[in-house]
Amino acid sequence: MSHPWSAPVARDAVRATVTIPGSKSLTNRALVLAALADGPSTLHGPLRSRDTELMAAALRALGTRITDGPRDEWLITPVSPHGPAEVDCGLAGTVMRFVPPLASLATGPVTFDGDPQARKRPLSTVLDGLRALGADIEGTALPFEVRGQGALPGGRVTIDASASSQFVSGLLLSAARFDHGITLVHEGESVPSLPHIDMTVTMLRAAGVEVDDRQPDVWRVKPGPVDPLDLDVEPDLSNATPFLAAAAVTAGEVTVPGWPEHTNQAGDAIRDILERMGVHVRLDGAGLTVTGPEKLEGADVDLHAVGELTPTVAAMAACAHGSSRLRGIAHLRGHETDRLAALQHELNSLGSSVQQTDDGLLIEPRPLHGGTWHSYADHRMATAGAILGLRVPGITLDDITTTSKTLPDFTGMWSTLLDPVS
């Protein structure tokens, strides 16, 4: 059920320390690897949100045992996957793209479905790729069925992953369990969000899987065992960006503790973007601290590798002095919603001047006014509306519950951000 929410206005500069829950990307990749491992795994501080609970439920449906540990942990005991089973993908791209390769290793049929919006998301790339590797699958989009035979030959496959890096990650995560591993070749426009593939490769290697990614657009995974995990999940840096943006648009200061010095998370790119918009950025033992300027500057930013940051950056750009160009993000037209069309419509409805280009957005700041901000069942659209609400009285989000996809207590965290003493 949708829940409208009046975005609170920042009466003064925002000054707060905000602790961010664990990374969705790390949590869901780790859950898949743990389900394939040769022994029990432990995830410390995993994200508990709709997307990760959907992933855990999907793996449980296939037989994996996932229980709570005594200190904010998930304890995972792998079991040979089996059907019949039903998987609810919700609107989680990681579930609909990471679980089918694992389901192809199950014995018995596994059916997949999800939210109405999820049925519009592209899946044929990963499903056709699995068919080429020997899987029996009926359907090219949700709902579909994987008829597992207990094994998958694997081998060489060529796909076009220009719409989403998740097509690559989904096939790589289970590939060590394919009879012949995988040689995955991408042909097409450049793959977006490459940091997410780097994260997948890093996690595979940490689990003892041999991966060769030396050749551009080619990934080779050898068949073999998957070591159990004992993983401390980093804070979700992409989820941190709305809170950092709060400092940027109010000339305030926000610190996020636990920001890693080295990481594969795409959200780490926000540091450079903020600096280019005139924000002071400091990473030290206290975490990442950003201090907003009196006048936020527009910027020309290539977001091809970090498209998930686009709604946050667009919201900041609408509050800046000077125009901004966001480039390299044509693939966002196929995300939870068409994010480019959604951002253009919503920003213009509040008084901004936004035009779409072939690969992005041109944003000319204008005086903004209140109104309804539509989330389109997209958590990052919702948080973008909250950022604007800090500066513009009278903005109402049509549905704040969509933030539960990755931040179950977003409204509570946002309230604390504005009133850290209470």
Catalytic residue (choose from 145, 234, 253, 308): 308
Residue 120 is assigned to a ligand binding site:
no
Residue 93 is assigned to a ligand binding site:
yes
Residue 389 is assigned to a ligand binding site:
no
DSSP assignment of 267-299 equals: GGGHHHHHHHTT-EEEEETTEEEEE--SSPBP-
Residue 114 is assigned to a ligand binding site:
no
CB 339 within 8 A of CB 381: yes
297 tagged catalytic: no
CB 199 within 8 A of CB 173: no
Q: What is the dihedral of CA 130, 132, 136, 140, to 10 degrees?
A: 60
Per the rule left: phi > 0, alpha: psi between -120 and 50, beta: everything else, 322 is: left
Residue 121 is assigned to a ligand binding site:
yes
Q: In what order do the strands lie in the sheet with 253-256?
A: 15-17, 253-256, 287-291, 280-284
Residue 339 is assigned to a ligand binding site:
yes
Residue 335 is assigned to a ligand binding site:
yes
Residue 25 is assigned to a ligand binding site:
yes
Which class for 236: exposed (0-12), middle (13-18), buried (19 or more C-beta within 10 A)?
Answer: buried
Q: Which residue has the tokens 């200190």?
A: 71
Cβ–Cβ contacts within 10 Å for residue 107, how many?
Answer: 15
- What whole-number distance in Å separates Cα of residue 101 and Cα of residue 104? 5
List residues forming the annotated binding site for phosphoenolpyruvate. 24, 93, 121, 166, 339, 380, 405
Active site residues per annotation: 308
List residues forming the annotated binding site for 3-phosphoshikimate. 24-25, 29, 164-166, 193, 308, 335
List residues forming the annotated binding site. 24-25, 29, 93, 121, 164-166, 193, 308, 335, 339, 380, 405
